[in-house]
């Protein structure tokens, strides 16, 4: 019983924590006082970023000065103690609620998956039984049709009149076994068939890409891993890969 109540207790605690969140008016005033000036400079920074052309040494000095001012404002916002505490608290609250959601959803999905798995096993067994029964009944029908054709053909062989013999042979040719269909019982659980990759022979696949370039579309190159390797070893050379250093 305690396992069932735990998410409920956590839910109540999370709600209490949410209700406790408030920003006192003095703190609100202080935040506006600290961040207001930075907010008023945003539009100017954006205009400078769009309009400035760094083509001379003087222009570069102006650009460097603005960059330094922006960097200082970024540091002020990121390092603001009160804002950091508020965002940290909200982040923790967000994680608490997502954890709470998972506390409900995870066991629900696990139980449903377990039950659905058993239904799928039953469904597959019923389908196999239906297929075997269908094959058995089809074999009986086929054999019955074969015997009937054989009977008519034997009768035709005994007849002397060509017309009657042809008539009996035509009747034999028209004897066809009915198609037997045995339906397996359908489950009330929604199911769907999906393709999945069971295994990959990487060597065979890569060799095939040499002959069929369209297969290259299934290959994903991890360029981030390549960059990290190049940073760790500047002498690294990978065939087909061109590295470049960028200044940021």
**H, E, C per residue of the chain:** CHHHHHHHHHHHHHHHHHHHCCCCHHHHHHHHHHHHHHHHHHHHHHHHHHHCCCCCHHHHHHHHHHHHHHHHHHHHHHCCHHHHHHHHHHHHHHHHHHHHHHHHHHHHHHHHHHHHHHHHHHHHHHHHHHHHHHHHHHHHHHHHHHHHHHHHHHHHHHCCCHHHHHHHHHHHHCCCCCCCCCCCCCCCCCCCCCCCCCCCCHHHHHHHHHHCHHHHHHCCCCHHHHHHHHHHCCCCCCCCCCCCCCCC
* Model confidence pLDDT, tens digit, residues 87-104: 998 998 999 899 999 999
* Model confidence pLDDT, tens digit, residues 102-135: 999 999 999 999 999 999 999 999 999 999 999 9
CB 153 within 8 A of CB 172: yes
State yes or no: pLDDT of 1 exceeds 70: no
CB 175 within 8 A of CB 145: yes
CA-nearest of 185, 180, 186, 183 to 135 is 180
- Judged by phi (left if over 0) then psi (alpha if -120 to 50, else beta), residue 71 lies in alpha
pLDDT at 5: 54
C-alpha 171/C-alpha 174 separation (Å) is 5
pLDDT at 207: 95
* Model confidence pLDDT, tens digit, residues 146-201: 999 999 999 999 998 999 999 999 999 999 999 999 999 988 888 888 999 999 99
State yes or no: pLDDT of 58 exceeds 60: yes
| Cα 80 → chain centroid | 38
User: pTM for this one?
Assistant: 0.64
Q: Based on the number of CB atoms within 10 Å of its own CB, is 216 exposed (0-12), middle (13-18) or buried (19 or more)?
A: exposed
Of 21-25, 137-141, 148-152, the one with minimum mean pLDDT is: 21-25
Q: Average pLDDT of the chain?
A: 92
Extents of the domains making up the chain: 2-123
CA-nearest of 66, 69, 72 to 50 is 66
C-alpha 199/C-alpha 42 separation (Å) is 54
């Amino acid at each position: 019983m305690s396992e069932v109540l735990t998410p409920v207790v956590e839910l109540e605690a999370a709600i209490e924590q949410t209700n406790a969140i408030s920003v006192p008016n003095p703190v609100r005033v202080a935040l506006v006082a600290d961040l207001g000036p930075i907010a008023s400079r945003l539009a100017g920074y954006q205009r400078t970023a769009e309009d400035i052309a760094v083509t001379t040494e003087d222009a570069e000095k102006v650009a460097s000065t603005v960059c330094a001012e922006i960097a200082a404002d970024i540091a002020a916002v990121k390092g603001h103690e009160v804002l950091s505490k508020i965002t940290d608290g909200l982040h923790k609250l967000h994680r608490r609620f997502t954890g709470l959601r998972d506390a409900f959803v995870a066991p629900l999905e696990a139980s449903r998956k377990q039950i659905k798995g058993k239904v799928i096993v039953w469904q597959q067994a019923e389908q196999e039984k239906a297929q075997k029964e269908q094959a058995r009944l089809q074999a009986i029908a086929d054999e019955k049709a074969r015997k009937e054709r054989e009977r008519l053909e034997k009768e035709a062989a005994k007849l002397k009149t060509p017309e009657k013999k042809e008539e009996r042979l035509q009747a034999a040719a028209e004897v066809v076994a009915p198609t037997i269909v045995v339906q397996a019982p359908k489950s009330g659980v929604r199911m769907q068939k999906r393709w999945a990759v069971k295994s990959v022979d990487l060597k065979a696949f890569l060799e095939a890409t040499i002959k069929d370039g369209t297969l290259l579309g299934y290959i994903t190159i991890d360029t981030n891993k390549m960059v990290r390797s190049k940073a760790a070893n500047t002498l690294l050379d990978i065939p087909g890969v061109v590295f470049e250093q960028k200044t940021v």
